Amino acid sequence: MRLTVMAAGHARGTAEGTLVDEFIHRAVQMGRNMGFPSIVAEEVAISKARDAKTRMADEAEKLAARIPAGAHIILLDAKGKGMTSEDFAEMLGALRDAGTKDLCFVIGGPDGLASLPGKRAGRSLAFGPQTWPHLMVRAMLAEQIYRALTILAGHPYHRA
């Protein structure tokens, strides 16, 4: 199953971007022989529209255009459902085992995320009730993907 972290905004040159790159690299190494042949982070530009509603719609359109056809979509949203690292790992393993070809995590821009035109999300995921900066959400998601793969592999990284 190919994993994609799709986000609005650019992280290059930031501390958070460095963390994303590090954990994606680790996940690629871990997942290669576990049925996760591709794990990537992709970005689209933040909209320059004047009002938030238009910015969110523009970004959602750009993100939706990059999501592979038939992908299982998980939105990162403060109103989403939280899950433990073990539950997250179980979900990834179950989707892989069910034959899901593409899993795409979608993170909106600073204003949030409008509905993705022509796409339907399978679920929404939150990292707790707090509001997190979008770049931090990317870094935390990349780490959780790596952690999930280590859990599935029985690797000692996860010590809960």
Q: What is the pTM of this model?
A: 0.94
The confidence score (pLDDT) of residue 47 equals 94
Domains of the chain: 2-153 (3.40.1280.10)
Average pLDDT for residues 54-74, to the nearest whole number?
96
Q: Percent of the chain, pLDDT > 70?
A: 99
Average pLDDT for residues 139-147, to the nearest whole number?
98
DSSP for the chain reads -EEEEEEES--TTSHHHHHHHHHHHHHHHHHTTTT---EEEEEEPPP--SSHHHHHHHHHHHHHHHSPTT-EEEEEEEEEE---HHHHHHHHHHHHHTT--EEEEEE-BTTB----TT---SEEE-SSSS---HHHHHHHHHHHHHHHHHHHHT-TT---
Q: What is the pLDDT of residues 107-131, one digit of tens each?
A: 999 899 999 999 999 999 999 888 8
Q: What is the pLDDT of residues 90-107, one digit of tens each?
A: 999 999 999 999 999 999
When the pLDDT of each residue in the chain is averaged and rounded to a whole number, the result is: 95
